[in-house]
Protein backbone atom coordinates (compact mmCIF):
# COMPACT_ATOMS: atom_id res chain seq x y z
CA UNK A 1 0.00 0.00 0.00
CA UNK A 2 1.37 3.38 -1.02
CA UNK A 3 1.25 6.22 1.56
CA UNK A 4 0.55 9.67 0.23
CA UNK A 5 3.06 12.42 1.04
CA UNK A 6 0.33 14.11 3.09
CA UNK A 7 0.20 11.30 5.67
CA UNK A 8 3.71 10.64 7.00
CA UNK A 9 5.67 11.04 10.23
CA UNK A 10 3.31 11.27 13.21
CA UNK A 11 0.29 10.30 11.09
CA UNK A 12 -0.99 13.85 10.76
CA UNK A 13 -2.13 14.87 7.36
CA UNK A 14 -1.42 18.28 5.91
CA UNK A 15 -5.09 19.13 6.34
CA UNK A 16 -4.91 18.29 10.08
CA UNK A 17 -1.75 20.30 10.43
CA UNK A 18 -3.33 23.34 8.77
CA UNK A 19 -6.43 22.95 10.96
CA UNK A 20 -4.31 22.89 14.15
CA UNK A 21 -2.28 25.87 13.00
CA UNK A 22 -5.49 27.78 12.25
CA UNK A 23 -6.86 26.96 15.69
CA UNK A 24 -3.60 28.04 17.30
CA UNK A 25 -3.63 31.33 15.41
CA UNK A 26 -7.23 31.95 16.51
CA UNK A 27 -6.29 31.23 20.13
CA UNK A 28 -3.27 33.50 19.90
CA UNK A 29 -5.38 36.26 18.38
CA UNK A 30 -8.04 35.96 21.09
CA UNK A 31 -5.39 36.02 23.82
CA UNK A 32 -3.66 39.08 22.36
CA UNK A 33 -6.98 40.90 22.04
CA UNK A 34 -7.74 40.08 25.66
CA UNK A 35 -4.33 41.45 26.71
CA UNK A 36 -5.02 44.66 24.81
CA UNK A 37 -8.47 44.95 26.41
CA UNK A 38 -6.92 44.53 29.84
CA UNK A 39 -4.39 47.25 29.14
CA UNK A 40 -7.13 49.55 27.83
CA UNK A 41 -9.21 48.92 30.99
CA UNK A 42 -6.21 49.72 33.18
CA UNK A 43 -5.56 52.98 31.36
CA UNK A 44 -9.26 53.93 31.46
CA UNK A 45 -9.44 53.28 35.22
CA UNK A 46 -6.32 55.34 35.81
CA UNK A 47 -7.62 58.20 33.68
CA UNK A 48 -11.02 58.10 35.42
CA UNK A 49 -9.41 58.18 38.87
CA UNK A 50 -7.12 61.06 37.89
CA UNK A 51 -10.06 62.92 36.34
CA UNK A 52 -12.19 62.47 39.48
CA UNK A 53 -9.33 63.67 41.68
CA UNK A 54 -8.84 66.72 39.47
CA UNK A 55 -12.58 67.48 39.57
CA UNK A 56 -12.82 67.16 43.35
CA UNK A 57 -9.67 69.21 43.84
CA UNK A 58 -11.03 71.81 41.45
CA UNK A 59 -14.29 72.17 43.39
CA UNK A 60 -12.49 72.54 46.73
CA UNK A 61 -10.00 74.96 45.17
CA UNK A 62 -12.86 76.98 43.68
CA UNK A 63 -14.43 77.43 47.11
CA UNK A 64 -11.08 78.47 48.56
CA UNK A 65 -10.48 80.73 45.60
CA UNK A 66 -13.80 82.52 46.17
CA UNK A 67 -12.92 83.17 49.81
CA UNK A 68 -9.40 84.37 48.92
CA UNK A 69 -10.83 86.57 46.23
CA UNK A 70 -13.13 88.27 48.73
CA UNK A 71 -10.23 88.72 51.16
CA UNK A 72 -7.96 90.14 48.46
CA UNK A 73 -10.61 92.60 47.28
CA UNK A 74 -11.15 93.79 50.85
CA UNK A 75 -7.38 94.04 51.49
CA UNK A 76 -6.85 96.21 48.40
CA UNK A 77 -9.29 98.87 49.64
CA UNK A 78 -6.57 101.19 51.03
CA UNK A 79 -4.55 100.96 47.76
CA UNK A 80 -7.38 101.06 45.19
CA UNK A 81 -10.50 102.90 46.35
CA UNK A 82 -12.61 101.71 43.38
CA UNK A 83 -14.34 98.36 44.07
CA UNK A 84 -14.62 97.61 40.34
CA UNK A 85 -10.89 98.09 39.79
CA UNK A 86 -10.03 95.87 42.79
CA UNK A 87 -12.31 93.12 41.41
CA UNK A 88 -10.67 93.30 37.97
CA UNK A 89 -7.13 93.14 39.38
CA UNK A 90 -7.91 90.17 41.65
CA UNK A 91 -9.90 88.41 38.90
CA UNK A 92 -7.05 88.66 36.40
CA UNK A 93 -4.53 87.38 38.98
CA UNK A 94 -6.66 84.36 39.88
CA UNK A 95 -7.47 83.67 36.25
CA UNK A 96 -3.75 83.42 35.47
CA UNK A 97 -3.04 81.12 38.42
CA UNK A 98 -6.09 78.93 37.75
CA UNK A 99 -5.37 78.66 34.04
CA UNK A 100 -1.79 77.55 34.60
CA UNK A 101 -2.86 74.93 37.17
CA UNK A 102 -5.57 73.58 34.87
CA UNK A 103 -3.14 73.37 31.95
CA UNK A 104 -0.57 71.53 34.09
CA UNK A 105 -3.06 68.89 35.24
CA UNK A 106 -4.57 68.52 31.77
CA UNK A 107 -1.11 67.74 30.35
CA UNK A 108 -0.48 65.23 33.13
CA UNK A 109 -3.80 63.52 32.46
CA UNK A 110 -3.10 63.39 28.73
CA UNK A 111 0.38 61.90 29.30
CA UNK A 112 -0.93 59.22 31.70
CA UNK A 113 -3.76 58.15 29.37
CA UNK A 114 -1.42 56.55 26.82
CA UNK A 115 -1.54 52.73 27.06
CA UNK A 116 1.70 50.76 27.37
CA UNK A 117 1.60 48.26 24.51
CA UNK A 118 5.22 47.12 24.73
CA UNK A 119 4.45 43.88 26.61
CA UNK A 120 1.55 42.70 24.38
CA UNK A 121 3.54 43.51 21.23
CA UNK A 122 6.61 41.65 22.50
CA UNK A 123 4.49 38.63 23.47
CA UNK A 124 2.72 38.60 20.10
CA UNK A 125 6.04 38.67 18.25
CA UNK A 126 7.45 35.85 20.39
CA UNK A 127 4.30 33.78 19.83
CA UNK A 128 4.41 34.31 16.09
CA UNK A 129 8.09 33.38 15.97
CA UNK A 130 7.33 30.21 17.94
CA UNK A 131 4.46 29.33 15.61
CA UNK A 132 6.69 29.94 12.59
CA UNK A 133 9.41 27.71 14.03
CA UNK A 134 6.84 24.97 14.75
CA UNK A 135 5.46 25.17 11.23
CA UNK A 136 8.93 24.95 9.75
CA UNK A 137 9.88 22.07 12.04
CA UNK A 138 6.74 20.09 11.23
CA UNK A 139 7.10 20.87 7.56
CA UNK A 140 10.61 19.46 7.52
CA UNK A 141 9.40 16.34 9.38
CA UNK A 142 6.55 15.73 6.92
CA UNK A 143 8.77 16.18 3.86
CA UNK A 144 11.75 14.30 5.24
CA atoms within 13 A on the CB side of 85: 7
* 88-113 burial: b if 16+ Cβ within 10 Å, else e: ebbeeeeeeeeeeeeeebeeeeeeee
Contacts of 127 (CB under 8 A, 6+ apart): 28, 32
Burial 38-61 (b: 16+ CB within 10 A, else e): ebeeeeeeeeeeeeeebeeeeeee
pLDDT band at 114 (very low <50, low <70, confident <90, very high): confident
Structure confidence at residue 59 (pLDDT)? 92
**Sorting pLDDT into bands at 50, 70 and 90, what band is 2?**
very low
pLDDT digits (tens, 9 = 90+) for 51-65: 899 899 989 988 987
E strand residue ranges, 21-136: none
Rounded to 5°, the CA angle 51-57-58 comes to: 85
Contact assessment for residue 50 and residue 107, using Cβ atoms and an 8 Å cutoff: no
* pLDDT, tens only, 12-28: 688 888 888 889 889 98
Contact by Cβ (8 Å): 120, 55 = no
Instruction: Give the DSSP per-residue string, 74-85.
Output: HHTTTT---HHH
Least confident of 21-30, 73-82, 91-100, 105-114: 105-114
Torsion angle (degrees, nearest 10) of CA 43, 49, 51, 57: -150
Amino acid sequence: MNQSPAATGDGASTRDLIRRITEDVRTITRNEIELLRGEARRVARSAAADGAAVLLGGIVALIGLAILCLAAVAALAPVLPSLALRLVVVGVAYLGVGGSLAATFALRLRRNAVPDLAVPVREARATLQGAKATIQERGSQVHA
